[in-house]
Structure 1
Amino acid sequence: MAAGVVLVAGCGSSSSDAGSDGGGAAADTAAAEAMVAKYGEPLTSVDLPPLEKTPEAGKSVVFVTNNIPESQYLAEGSIAAAKLLGWNAKSIVYDASSPTGLTAAFAQAVDEAPDGVMTNATNTTDYAAAAKEFAAKNIPVVTSNTTDPIGAPIIANVADPSQYELAGKIVASYVVAQKGDEASVAMFNIPSFPILKAYEDAFKAEFLRLCPDCHYESHAVQPGDIGTKIPSQVVSAIQRNPSINFASMGFGAVGTGVSGALASAGLNDTKIIGIQPTTENLEATSNGTEDMWLASPITGMGWKSVDALARYFNGEDVEVATKAQVPFVIITKDNAEDYMPRAEVDGGDYEAVFEPIWKLN
């Protein structure tokens, strides 16, 4: 989702940047390797301090989200976390490809009149009427994977642009560490998710900083084309430019069907990389058909969203929920099996992680 890329209905669009005029400057592989080395450790911390007191039971919360797998992981975490606190929790799911699904889902959330709302991957500008209602009724909203600033009704953003900018720098570093001056990237991203622009902008800037003469191009794709049109779009891009050795996905589900399409076309030298892998991406990485995914604890973001509401209801500082660092880990064939089926803190045993934080034991 590079700046300047325009989404064309029914197809992908692209822009190309062959790199700045670096005058033959060598790639800074040492800096790239140093960045990569920082993110090979297991996910062990949610970076949150304990609450001052146990949250009150009986709250009613809803999670509004799209039907993309990564979002469902996040929703699952939020529902499980809310139930651990003795809250009534409900997930409202809409089709990401539907032109009216999002607004209808948020209208339903308004009608539910909950104590708190959680959402992800959609900004308040996309549900402006509902956001106004939430603010008027003092219903707090916790968001994630958006560019929303903190301000009514948003009380916390547990995966904000700064986290995605860091992710972009890490993935760009991986590419340069692997291929140096020969690195050539095609990015496939979804402009309807504003947070992905922050990711791609950071990726592109860091990639061309580390390797000024390397090739970079961007392709806008659509949620409704995941697993259908996107694989052929990737194949076409690489056939047009066979030098591309990394096809970078905006997030895991974007890569659905891509490895098979590349293999069928005989394009075996292009590696698939990205962020926020699904279980299927981890399986593909384990068997070598996909190369690298930068993982963060997506289910854990759901737990952190509930934690933010708990702090708000307790009258405690909520700012920490936004500032808490999202942990990242680089997953390749060498360690993919260690993170199956998902890359989560302490293997996903979040009850054990949050019980002491929430003073439940």
Structure 2
Amino acid sequence: MRVRRRAALGAVALATTLLSVAACGSSGSGGDTASPGTAASQGASSSTQADAAAYLAKVVAAPQGIGYSTPITKRAPSGLRVVVLEANVPIARRIDEERAAAAAALGWKFSKIVIGTGAEDAAKAMSQALDQKPDFIFEAGYNMSAFGDQVARAQSQGVKIIAQCITDKPSGPLIAVDCDLRSTDLMAKASAAYIATHGNGHDVIQLLSSTSFPIDDYYGKSLATQLRPWCPKCQVKTVSFQLSDLGTKLPGMVVSAIQRDPDTTYIVSSFGDAMTGLEPALAAAGLSGKVRIGGYLPGVDQYQGLRDNKQVFWAQDQAPIAGWREMDIAVRAAVGDPISTVTDTAPVSQVLTSDNIGAASFDSAGFWLGVKDFADIYKKLWLLA
């Protein structure tokens, strides 16, 4: 509780500081423009920067609870089978550890299949999952089109699919999407608020976006849209990559993008693992410290980058708690309760910066928790405690 209180107090202090900074340079009389050298003269008015600062002050605050408190109406049946299609990245593995723990608490059978990076691997993994005759399948990042005719097969088998971070809307066997377009918009707005508050009014952002995950492209477009009212002269440019480029081709691609556009001020990634190998590549090219680094969906290395003041912000709404939150969707579907209790509530989130990361909650493996006691909270909602 002390940690949360300190974070909340820090957020209030940050709000005051940011609003004061944003107002500097204004004469205070109606209609006057800001003095030369302020954000207003560089492309963003003091009022819009103040708006961005006010929004940022809200989203850097530590989350309080999971956002809802409605328990299920009866205990879920035991013995149901869930299969997870796992993307081979650290945060996905960590979330699935919690998903397995949630399944164990419910007395459900749990297994996972790691998806490869090939074009047909998602459909193959879905086929293998359906062979196990599960009640629920969980997947992240892949729109239903990636699974081909396996979606129709899931429908015929009566299997329910719960997805994370995709642009599809629920339909057919896809009963729910967590980290959907609405929550991605919120994270894009949070990212835009940081850039508009701390930028120069005409920032050039190189956005790293995976071609494998449509939600990445959506985040980039939403970032540009959310940034426009606060910073009309800012530009968002895209560096597209394949998953096989992580830690191999991608660092060089980013360096080349900056060299082509030396006005670049930010590198923003649609997920943290895309940053693998980037800092050494920037150093080798003599670009260390010349651009700010941030983004959405960080991992352990990005948290350390904030602590070391090598990176500046990361918007976070997918964390170990997601394993329990998305299992809650399955639980409510299993007992016939409205899943909207979960899906109408935004995921637990926070913008992490060098200023607030010291007060944020992390597990022993270094992953952001958001809410420390989430497992106990969900067990109570499931009538298990």
Same fold (TM over 0.5): yes
Q: 1:4 aligns to what?
A: none
Task: Name the residue aligned to 1:118.
Answer: 138
- The answer to whether structure 1 residue 55 and structure 2 residue 76 are counterparts is yes
Q: Which amino acid aligns with 2:272?
A: G
How far did 1:24 drift?
7.5
Structure 2 match to 1:12: none
1:289 corresponds to which residue? Answer: 310
How well do the aligned residues superpose, as a CA RMSD in angstroms?
A: 1.8
Contact 1:164 1:196 in 2 (8 A): no
Which residue is 1:88 aligned to? 109
1:211 maps to: 231
Q: Aligned partners of 1:140 and 1:358: how far apart in 2?
A: 19
Q: CA deviation at 1:222?
A: 1.3
Is 1:132 aligned to residue 152 of structure 2?
Answer: yes
Q: 1:107 to 1:119 in 2, by over 3 A?
A: same
Contact 1:171 1:274 in 2 (8 A): yes
Spell out the pairing of 1:300-339 with structure 2 (5 A cutoff).
300-337=321-358, 338-339=360-361
> 2:17 corresponds to which residue?
none
Matched with 1:8 is: none
Identity of aligned residues (%): 26
- Structure of higher RCO (CA pairs closer than 8 Å, 6+ residues apart): 1
User: Post-superposition shift, 1:73?
Assistant: 2.5
Aligned twin of 1:46: 66
SS in 1 for 2:183: helix
Out of 176, 182, 203, the position equivalent to 1:183 is 203
2:296 and 2:315 in contact (8 A); partners too: yes
State how far apart, in whole Å, the 1-side matches of 2:87 and 2:140 are.
Answer: 8
Q: Does 1:344 align with 2:377?
A: no
Q: Is the 8 A contact 1:79 1:91 kept in 2?
A: no
Matches within 5 A, 1:1-361: 26-27=44-45, 28-48=48-68, 49-95=70-116, 97-267=117-287, 268-337=289-358, 338-340=360-362, 341-347=366-372, 349-361=373-385
3-state SS of the aligned residue for 2:228? helix
Q: Does structure 1 conserve the Cα–Cα contact (< 8 Å) formed by 2:86 and 2:115? A: yes
Q: Distance in 1 between matches of 2:202 and 2:152?
A: 50
CA 1:25 to 1:243, structure 2 compared with 1: closer, same or farther past 3 Å? Answer: closer
Query: For the residues of structure 2 that align with 1:147 and 1:280, how far apart are their CA atoms?
Result: 27
- Deviation of 1:142 (Å): 0.9
Detail structure 1 runs of 4+ shifted over 4 Å in the superposition.
22-25
Shift of 1:335: 2.5
Secondary structure, counterpart of 2:83 in structure 1: strand
Could you say which structure has the larger radius of gyration?
2
The one-letter code of the counterpart of 1:158 is: D
Equivalent pair of 2:66/2:371 in contact (CA under 8 Å): no
Residues 306 and 312 in structure 2, CA contact (< 8 A), matched pair in contact too? yes
Q: In 2, distance between residues paired with 1:125 and 1:136?
A: 17
Equivalent position amino acid for 1:127 in 2: F
Q: Corresponding residue for 2:14?
A: none
Q: What is the rounded CA distance, in whole Å, between the counterparts of 2:318 and 2:198 in structure 1?
A: 25
Moved more, 73-82 or 152-161: 73-82
**CA deviations over 1:282-326 (Å, ceiling 9, x no partner):** 112111222211112422222111111110110111122321211
Distance (whole Å) between structure 1 residues aligned to residue 82 and residue 182 of structure 2: 27
Q: Distance in 2 between matches of 1:141 and 1:192?
A: 19
* Farther off after superposition, 157-166 or 63-72: 63-72
- Matched to 1:218, the amino acid is T
Give the drift of 1:208. 2.4
Q: Which amino acid aligns with 1:281?
A: Q
Report the alpha carbon displacement of residue 55 of structure 1 after superposing the two structures with TM.
1.3
- What CA deviation, in whole Å up to 9, does each residue of 1:325-345 have, x standing for no partner? 112211112232434412223
Aligned residue-pair number: 338
Report the residue type matching 1:288 in the other structure. Answer: N
Secondary structure, aligned partner of 1:64: strand
| Greater CA drift, 237-246 or 334-343 | 334-343
Tell me by how many angstroms 1:90 deviates. Answer: 0.5
Separation (CA, whole Å) in 2 of partners of 1:50 and 1:180:
47
- Assess if the C-alpha contact under 8 Å between 1:57 and 1:87 holds in 2: yes
Give the unaligned 5+ runs of structure 2.
1-39
Query: 1:24 & 1:346 partners in 2: Cα distance?
Result: 39
CA distance in 1: counterparts of 2:235 and 2:214, whole angstroms: 24
Determine the structure 1 residue equivalent to 2:29: none
Q: Distance in 2 between matches of 1:264 and 1:72?
A: 31
